[in-house]
Amino acid sequence: MRIAYLVNQYPAVSHSFIRREILALERQGHEVLRIAIRGWRDPQLSQQDELEQKRTRYVLQSGAVALIAAFLQLLATNPARLAGAAALVWKTRRPAERPLAVQLIYLLEACRTLLWLRAEKIEHLHAHFGTNSAQVAMLVGELGGPSWSFTVHGPEEFDKPAMIALPEKIARADFVVAISSFGRSQLYRQVPHNEWSKIEVVHCGLEPGFHQTVPAGASSASQRLVCVGRLCEQKGQLLLLDAAYRLVQRGIEFELVLAGDGEMRPEIERLIGRYKLERSVRITGWISSDQVRQEILASRALVLPSFAEGLPVVLMEAMALRRPVISTFVAGIPELVVPTQHGWLVPAGDVEALTAAMEECLGVRPEVINEMGANARVRVLERHDIDREAARLVSLFERTATRSRR
| DSSP secondary structure, 91-105, as one string | HT-SS-SS-HHHHHH
Per-residue pLDDT tens for 108-155? Answer: 999 999 999 999 999 999 999 999 999 999 999 999 999 999 999 999
- For residue 217, pLDDT over 90 is answered with no
Average pLDDT over the chain reads 95
pLDDT of residue 232: 96
124 shares a domain with 15: yes
Of the candidates 66, 42, 64, which has an alpha carbon nearest to the alpha carbon of residue 54? 42
**Cβ atoms 35, 5 nearer than 8 A:** yes
The phi and psi torsions of 280 (rounded to 5 degrees) equal -110, -20
Of the candidates 241, 32, 251, which has an alpha carbon nearest to the alpha carbon of residue 125? 32
- Helices and strands (H, E) in the chain, number of each type: 18, 13
391 shares a domain with 367: no
- For residue 290, pLDDT over 60 is answered with yes
94 shares a domain with 200: yes
The tally of CA atoms less than 13 A away on the side-chain side of residue 157 is 31
pLDDT of residue 295: 96
**Cβ atoms 93, 100 nearer than 8 A:** yes
Domain that holds residue 330: 208-383
71 shares a domain with 60: yes
148 shares a domain with 92: yes
147 shares a domain with 231: no
pLDDT of residue 215: 66
At 8, the pLDDT band (50, 70, 90 cuts) reads very high
As for how many domains the chain has, the answer is: 2
| Least-confidence region, from 3-7, 15-19, 262-266, 388-392 | 15-19
| Least-confidence region, from 84-93, 338-347, 384-393, 396-405 | 396-405
200 shares a domain with 338: no
215 shares a domain with 108: no
pLDDT of residue 3: 98
pLDDT of residue 22: 98
Residues with Cβ within 8 Å of residue 299, at least 6 apart in sequence: 219, 222, 224, 225, 226, 257, 323
At 350, the pLDDT band (50, 70, 90 cuts) reads very high
| Average confidence (pLDDT) over 178-185 | 98
Give the Cβ contact number of residue 262 at 10 Å.
Answer: 17
Spell out the alpha helix ranges (H) of 173-288.
181-188, 208-211, 237-249, 265-275
Strand arrangement, sheet containing 2-9: 56-58, 31-38, 2-9, 124-128, 147-152, 175-178, 199-201
| 31 burial via Cβ count (<10 Å: 0-12, 13-18, 19+) | middle
pTM of the model: 0.94
335 shares a domain with 225: yes
329 shares a domain with 240: yes
275 shares a domain with 140: no
- For residue 220, pLDDT over 90 is answered with no
Tell me, what CATH number does 295's domain have?
3.40.50.2000
Grouping H, G, I as helix, E, B as strand and the rest as coil, residue 38 is: strand
88 shares a domain with 216: no
